[in-house]
Chains A and B, each alone.
Chain A
Amino acid sequence: MKQPASEAQHGGPDAAATSEPPTPATTASSTSAARSTEEKGGWRALGLRLDVRNLSLLGVLAALIIVGGITKPDQFLDTNNLQLVLTQASVIGVVTVGMTFVITSGGIDLSVGAIVALASVWATTLATQEYGFAGILFTAVVVGLGCGLVNGLLIAYGGMVPFIATLAMLASARGLALQLTDGKTQIVTVNSVLDLGIPDSYILGIPPLVLVFAAVTVIGWLVLNRTTFGRRTVAVGGNAEAARLAGIDVRRQRLYLYLLSGLCCGIAAFLLIILAGSGQNTNGNLYELDAIAAAIIGGTLLSGGRGTIVGSVLGVLVFTTITNIFALNNLQSDVQQIAKGAIIVAAVLVQRRTLRNGEA
């Protein structure tokens, strides 16, 4: 099989000689048969390169599963635990999908945790709860979108640096959440919401939260890889000036991206309300760091221009699985934190090595 990508990397411009001889300008139709076979080769090569990046994380995940299986065979390898890990990954997972888009575009969103807190609190006030299921869902999503809109306007049209704009949003959204609650826990009494968190509502053994997470992941993947929106996101992150001069409306794209992140936060807030049966201003604590860490170990470039939803989701699963294994083994927070840090470093090192070997 041909490996056009790696071949060209070695040879640089001279590789043209070893590749196909340059054909003179031809009409698109006359060589379509020959091209379709090449296309497959090309796509496979691209697909392989993607896989190499995710492979290392899959390896880490597999190693974790082995550790879990050896140390706690009964509790770890069990359907309940699988449901547990996936459920716990859902909230932060949805946030991470949005974060992946923002980072891919060369931005950052530090306000995700605060937006989740504000949305979850606003959606669980007594007044909102009067409107039942729809009221809670609607409020959570609208608050998320609203915060994303403010972020997006400040960054895209106000010329603020994403770090600063979203840091300001972090502070004010947390403050507003505190003001709404006075530090009190708002218990949810709407049964149609609460019921989504208990096993009776599982569909074919899959918790609804996990289904939402899966749907967000699939949609996120399709949008990033198969739509003009995704392509523009990558272009803006890869070289904003080049994207602008190529005719892309970079500012509008940025606005949409922070809206998207806000939307994901709103959905995550709704999931969190289901999970915790309440809204609290301390919700979403440090989600920004967890989401960024998951995206980065997943292979998304912090400088932008390259993003992978699959990698991000694997990153989230790695973190959730670590927490699970440590809790099952009754290890305390200090050990958990040390190990988490070590695993971030290890994952990134392994990834870089695999990446280098993959390209060499």
Chain B
Amino acid sequence: MSGITKIFPGVRALDGVDLEVQAGEVHCLLGQNGAGKSTLIKVLAGAHQPDGGVITWQGEEVTLKSPVAAMKLGIATIYQELDLVEGLSVAENIFLGHEPTTAGFVVRGREARSSATALLKRLGHPEIQAHRPVGSLSAAQQQIVSMARALSHDVRLIVMDEPSAALDPDEVDNLFRVVATLTADNVAVIYISHRLEEIRRIGDRVTVIKDGRTVAVALPAKETPTREVVALMTGRNVEYVFPERPAPTTAAPAEPVLRVEGLARHGEFEPVDLELRPGEIVGLAGLVGSGRSEILETIYGARKPSAGRVLVNGTPLRPGSVPAAVRAGLGLAPEERKAQGLLMLESVTRNVTVSSLSRFARIGWLDHSAERAEARAATRELSLRPDNPDVPIRTLSGGNQQKAVLARWLLRGCRVLLLDEPTRGVDVGARAELYAVIRRLADEGLAVLLVSSEVPEVLGLADRVLVLREGRIVHRAPAQELDEHRVLDLVMEGSPTP
């Protein structure tokens, strides 16, 4: 594959990705969430049509019009969410859509079962019985069934999307044995995982993508240092321009506007204490699953804490109540902008004013022109483009959608802004502008709590940084005292480092 481009409304999901896979190798694909991995494999599986680029299959240029076309060429994909029918048996699932039949429609069940048994044996799992319903199998066994299904076609390339995510260490070993069997048969495997240690164990070569672009091609999987790989995944590939921090003042620091005391959620994160002062940006650095979004949402009342409390200007908030938090002056720009932040059917105006409706209303009666005027003023202040509050929000780019969310809280007059991955899905070029906006809001007196998995972003934007690992704050320091490597070490500590 070379120069693959895929444009979704508002965002370039893939912006010229190159990938080359050889027969019989395990090729690892690395990248952060939202880097474009899933889009890329969907292009490979024929589920998405690329807007540009060339796919070459065994020396010939091909187009993958549909999943069936990809399957016919011998490309099989095992998705993270297994696409098995739980009510059907193992054999029925394996041969779903291409059952051995008599006269074209009578399924020869016995033949299907014996072929299925043979396939499972080849995968080293003869204990999975072909007649059992898939729903009664463990996650690992289901994955084997998925693989057997792929093998039931004459497959030359198998794409595995985070196959180890749901598995125990023992089961992972099993999985690796299966992968080894496959490559021994000269089948190519594209292996996607977050876990670097796995990649070291079974990978041959590594391709890293970030922000829809290839940042490293065909690195040797076993020799490349972890730090280099992580830096490629999270590091800057474009020089971001971060706004300057305000000069430190000698005046006594302002009273904290937000204070979090011993806030905890069972199984998600351990007691957290933090303070946030007006004009200050505090960054939370951590990997996916370190509890960073959970902390943010618990402060905001969207999750109910199991212990601790949140105080705004010294007054405790009612736990687990978003309206109470919003009334107290908190605002959240959620991680999943489309799923959690925006009303995709609505115009920009309505997305901006949704949290401040009562402002434009007298006894529930909305003044539409005041609403629109204020929404426009707020979006203009953030230079949201296009400068027309009537356009549907879904037509905006990611960066402008994020600005609409910020405008919502600006309009509401909030004092504490909680930003969860504010630049995810935002084009690289638009990020600097967003950073400037965030810094300007802080300069105007807002307190900002920033969560990001991009270490340079946290370091560049925040005044102070809290490093989070496995639900615990492991380090606190002013941003100037940290560098990327130090933070990465803190974040990754405990993972095997060669």
Contacts and interface: CB of A to CB of B under 8 A. Distances in A.
Say if A and B assemble together: yes
Interface of A: 4-5, 8-9, 12-13, 15-16, 19-28, 32, 35-36, 38-39, 42-43, 45-46, 226-229, 231-232, 234-235, 238-239, 241-249, 305-306
B185 interface: no
B395 A9 contact: yes
A45 B357 CA distance: 23
B295 to A, nearest CB: 15
Contact of B387 (A22, A32, A243): A22
A249 B9 contact: no
Contacts of B482: none
Interface in B313-372: 322-323, 325-327, 332, 334, 339-347, 350, 354-355, 357-358, 361, 364-366, 368-369, 372
B365 A227 contact: yes
Contact of B383 (A25, A249, A306): A25
A23 B387 contact: yes
Contact of B350 (A28, A43, A45, A231): A231
Given A42-B389, A232-B357, A246-B408, 14 more contacts: A13-B386, A16-B387, A20-B388, A21-B387, A22-B383, A26-B377, A28-B377, A39-B369, A42-B390, A46-B347, A228-B364, A229-B364, A235-B350, A238-B345
Contact of B396 (A13, A226, A245, A249): A13
A5 B354 contact: no
Contact of A242 (B342, B347, B389): B342
B376 interface: yes
B235 interface: no
A306 B345 contact: yes
B262 interface: no
B243 to A, nearest CB: 16
A13 B354 contact: no
B390 A46 contact: yes
24 contacts: A4-B388, A12-B397, A13-B10, A13-B395, A19-B385, A19-B387, A20-B387, A21-B387, A22-B385, A27-B377, A28-B373, A39-B369, A42-B388, A226-B366, A227-B365, A227-B366, A228-B358, A231-B366, A238-B343, A245-B334, A245-B340, A245-B341, A248-B323, A305-B345
B222 interface: no
B380 interface: yes
A206 B135 CA distance: 62
A229 B364 CA distance: 7
Contacts of B374: 28
A307 B456 CA distance: 45
A204 B194 CA distance: 75
Question: Interface residues of B: mostly helix, strand, loop or mixed?
Answer: mixed
Main secondary structure of the interface of A (DSSP, over half): helix
A242 B361 CA distance: 21
A226 B354 CA distance: 14
B86 interface: no
Given A4-B388, A242-B340, A24 B366 contact: no
Interface residues of B, number: 54
A16 B346 contact: no
B302 interface: yes
A353 B392 CA distance: 20
Contact of A305 (B10, B334, B343, B369): B343
Interface string B34-72: 000000000000000000000000000000000000000
Contacts of B397: 12-13
Contacts of A23: 380, 387
The 10 closest A-B pairs by CB, nearest first: A247-B326, A13-B397, A8-B391, A16-B385, A42-B390, A16-B386, A238-B343, A25-B381, A19-B386, A228-B357
B300 interface: yes
Interface in B371-425: 372-374, 376-377, 380-383, 385-392, 395-397, 400, 408, 412
Interface of B: 9-10, 300, 302, 322-323, 325-327, 332, 334, 339-347, 350, 354-355, 357-358, 361, 364-366, 368-369, 372-374, 376-377, 380-383, 385-392, 395-397, 400, 408, 412
Contacts, number: 145
Nearest to B412: A247
Nearest to B333: A245
A181 B300 CA distance: 52
B372 A39 contact: yes
Given A8-B386, A235-B354, A239-B342, A32 B302 contact: no
**Residue from A4, A16, A23, A35 whose CB has the most chain B CB atoms within 10 Å:** A16
A153 B364 CA distance: 23
Contacts of A244: 302, 322
B39 to A, nearest CB: 17
B343 A243 contact: yes
Contacts of A12: 9-10, 395, 397
Contact of B390 (A4, A25, A27, A306): A4
A4 B376 CA distance: 14
Contacts of A232: 357
A271 B132 CA distance: 58
Contacts of B327: 247
Contact of B343 (A5, A21, A242): A242
Contact of A32 (B9, B322, B366, B373): B373
A53 to B, nearest CB: 13
B417 to A, nearest CB: 13
A237 to B, nearest CB: 9
Contacts of B357: 228, 231-232
B343 A245 contact: no
B395 A235 contact: no
A352 to B, nearest CB: 16
B361 A15 contact: no
Contact of B391 (A4, A32, A35, A234): A4
A316 B400 CA distance: 41
Contacts of A228: 357-358, 361, 364, 366
Interface hub of A21, A228, A238 (most chain B Cβ within 10 A) = A228
Contacts of B354: 231, 235, 243, 246, 248
Nearest to B385: A16
A45 B347 CA distance: 12
Contacts of A249: 323
Contacts of A25: 380-383
A39 B325 CA distance: 33
A248 B412 CA distance: 13
